[in-house]
A and B are shown apart, each in its own frame.
Chain A
């Protein structure tokens, strides 16, 4: 690590002020950033820890039925506290990394980083979630803009994520054998007005919606409904863990499994 200053604000306002400094970097749970710093791949002059901001933590249900999760809420907390209200989301959170990661890593940190193999982006996109920041509200469809790229401005903080709760949902993750990130992960969410399918891990463009499957599943919510669809390997990630053709194949397999398992 290179030397850096650290600030520990206790309010969102103080955090925003601290992040306005030059080369300041927000620190969520640190599950990506700390290893990056240790490898000297980043050199922020100030780290602004969001871990001490109480108003950014916790899980609750809003009047409109949406599940509201503070940006600083850990995966372990989501796994425990969303289990009844949004079991598919809780199960996704409970399957991220290992217990050490889940007890430190946060939903805001994951969405801000937007790793193309992370789990949370698929849930946010498939649920049609709203990303709430200290300055505005961003629809998930507008938020994800390619791998490691989001609509966030410099210094903008994810304070809350609001998830409309679907009638049925499920997340299926096929893990990369080493990292156990998603080699391909599919989140399927069935709402009264249609089905949304979001895919993570597979595309060079990061998380994406599989619109053909959404259309077919909105007509008939069954695994058979997408049997005739194919996924193009164009633009899919190809690496030592799987070819683009393999990932394209997995998109369909995991989607079918998610539909079959959705409840």
Chain B
């Protein structure tokens, strides 16, 4: 019997009532009295020297309030990078300045050159067109392997396009070489992890406001982590102390990583609001989103898998070129390194692993974390090379994986992380059941009867979530801590408000977090409200990304609630004239153990705020507690996915026929919300595998700059998924035993789709061993006819 209440129940998402009835309050819904509008004049060339930006005619245009150029920001800080990677020689990465407005050079199509503030949006745009630019075009830097050989420099002052050359674990390099030399079989695969544009439904928006009377700045922005923006922008860009800067991220319509980062437009609106003495608003068009939101993925990789004569994995070696784009976005350096190299063991007991990553500057939009961030890239190459090895060796891909599974936990990988729990055979068993692997042969026959090739692709994945232990990430180069905060405020009549540092932009925290509190106290979820996304209301929190909200933010909330309960028990003990130790809390009622003496939740909360009968000498009035939680390890969700495709041999068109996912997320708070998270992730993973492709031409022009050319998955590109998360090995080191589910679908699905397509083609005798994503009809057809 499923629960109807608390942890494990599936109440419908309360936030959807306002989202589905048009009552959400998004940043673009915020209009401040007297506001002006900014239009950014963006570069339409990839790379050029700026000789002159002449604003004299534009500044006389109707409605213009002010025009800013790179000169106006030359003296202040650039947009900071939050992670410093140390290269294989022990040297820090090259870190060029990222100006708010381009200064000296433009470095990608979309790089903002000037900003026009005007009375209306259209006037701002009209004036921007009247700005006269004198640019000297320079060669575009697009191909990563060419970029590191020499030629044009994206940043002249740092002298190289190579941001860093990272080796991990450098001490294992020789052992890996030796293992590969001695292997009975080595499978090699070269592949591309295609560049993606996140495309949240809501484009980015920023509204800057400044109160000259108080000196207070306010920024309303589309962010996954308003405190991070406050810290980065206040301390590093504009020099505004945190107590004079409020950052609000209200309802946010999807983030997928791209709204983690601190962007130039936010800094500009905050700066300009003070400079012009009026609020300044910017709303991105979809075209601007394509050329200014941080992109994702874009790795070019060679991976080698060594096996002994019994098909045991003996070593993995990879070499990856990772595109950084024109500037270092906030967390960009961490994605191909610590979020990628540390996952190269996957679910397998490979004894030695060496990962080399060359991060490269190019004249393209900056690349940073996108749903999964490094972990999809790791999973994709590993699960693809295992599949290729199985085909080369003529062994069953599932059996080869099972043979090499890690089975003993905790397990210390050769790539510096320790998996706390997992049961990879259990998720594979579950997958074989829900995907009906046994029935595949019959389904293939049916497909063949109608002239279609059918393929089955299976893979596993593991991810490191719940980011992250601050002391560990500090050693790895993070310039921030990655704890989370919560304040549990109990009102006099018993209702509770939780101020959480996590931020919900689709995840459903407003529904799921109250389920946890309701379970702990034994009250109804409707008595609990969640407040998030406002630095003036919420304690310093690090926000939502890396599937961390429940594992880290939820844990902070649990710790704060435990403090509340501890104090409430003391109050109850006083009211019941008993000892604290004898008080039990169950179903919202405090009882003296072994007696029928009790006081209910409301009686205690009222006493806390109307302390007439209260132990005032021992206890402060009120009932409100704050906790900061810093995890001791990552969490390690894992699972096994299966995809069945049909390929039309005449056109190369791939259709997804079945998709099954068996995930181990540890304990589950709301199974329906978890289903939704997995569904969304799989949709994006299938999008990457079949449809989505961000393409630059050799001149650095963005060819896929709109939905006319950038293919987002539509409902009819997908299928009804078969999702199961009944395999649960709870996390051992956080209070809820939870692991995180936000990114799994996007991590686990791309290799399943590619493996299935290769299986389909080989079933008809094709020798194709790999097709790069997206596997568009033309690419599949070309591969079949090569």
| A interface with B by C-beta (< 8 Å) | 1, 39-40, 174, 177-179, 183, 240-243, 246, 249-250, 253
Contacts and interface: CB of A to CB of B under 8 A. Distances in A.
Interface in B701-721: 703-704, 707-712
Contacts of A243: 778, 782
B703 A177 contact: no
Contact of B777 (A39, A40, A240, A242): A242
B171 interface: no
A240 B693 contact: yes
B249 interface: no
A39 B710 CA distance: 17
Contacts of A177: 690-691, 711, 776-777
Interface residues of B, number: 24
A250 B287 contact: no
Given A40-B125, A177-B690, 16 more contacts: A174-B653, A177-B711, A177-B776, A178-B707, A178-B708, A178-B709, A178-B710, A178-B711, A178-B712, A179-B708, A183-B777, A240-B709, A243-B778, A243-B782, A246-B777, A246-B781
B782 A240 contact: no
Given A177-B776, A178-B711, A246-B778, A240 B704 contact: yes
Nearest to B695: A240
27 contacts: A39-B287, A174-B651, A174-B777, A177-B776, A177-B777, A178-B691, A178-B704, A178-B707, A178-B708, A178-B709, A178-B710, A178-B712, A179-B707, A179-B709, A183-B777, A240-B693, A240-B704, A240-B709, A241-B709, A241-B776, A242-B776, A242-B777, A242-B778, A243-B782, A246-B778, A253-B650, A253-B651
Contacts of A240: 693, 695, 703-704, 709
A79 B394 CA distance: 52
Contacts of B776: 177, 241-242
A241 B707 contact: no
A241 B782 CA distance: 12
Contacts of A178: 691, 704, 707-712
Interface residues of chain A: helix, strand, loop or mixed (majority): loop
Given A240-B703, A253-B651, A246 B711 contact: no
A193 B651 CA distance: 32
Interface string B132-149: 000000000000000000
A242 B782 CA distance: 9
Contacts, number: 45
A1 B653 CA distance: 38
Nearest to A178: B711
A-B residue pairs, 9 tightest by C-beta: A178-B711, A242-B778, A177-B711, A179-B708, A246-B778, A253-B650, A178-B709, A240-B695, A177-B691
A17 B23 CA distance: 46
B620 to A, nearest CB: 59
Contacts of B707: 178-179
A177 B778 CA distance: 10
Interface in B635-651: 650-651
A134 B252 CA distance: 51
B613 to A, nearest CB: 65
A250 B129 CA distance: 43
Given A178-B711, A179-B709, A246 B650 contact: no
Nearest to A256: B650
Nearest to A174: B651
Contacts of A179: 707-709
A178 to B, nearest CB: 4
Nearest to A177: B711
Nearest to A243: B778
B649 to A, nearest CB: 10
B128 to A, nearest CB: 11
A179 B691 CA distance: 11
A30 B690 CA distance: 31
A249 B653 CA distance: 13
B708 A241 contact: no
Nearest to B129: A40
A3 to B, nearest CB: 8
A105 to B, nearest CB: 15
Nearest to A250: B651
A68 B142 CA distance: 53
Interface in B662-711: 690-691, 693, 695, 703-704, 707-711
A242 B778 CA distance: 5
A174 B709 CA distance: 15
Contacts of B693: 240
A242 B709 CA distance: 12
Nearest to B717: A177
Contacts of B709: 178-179, 240-241
B651 A241 contact: no
Contacts of A253: 650-651
Nearest to B710: A178
A174 to B, nearest CB: 6
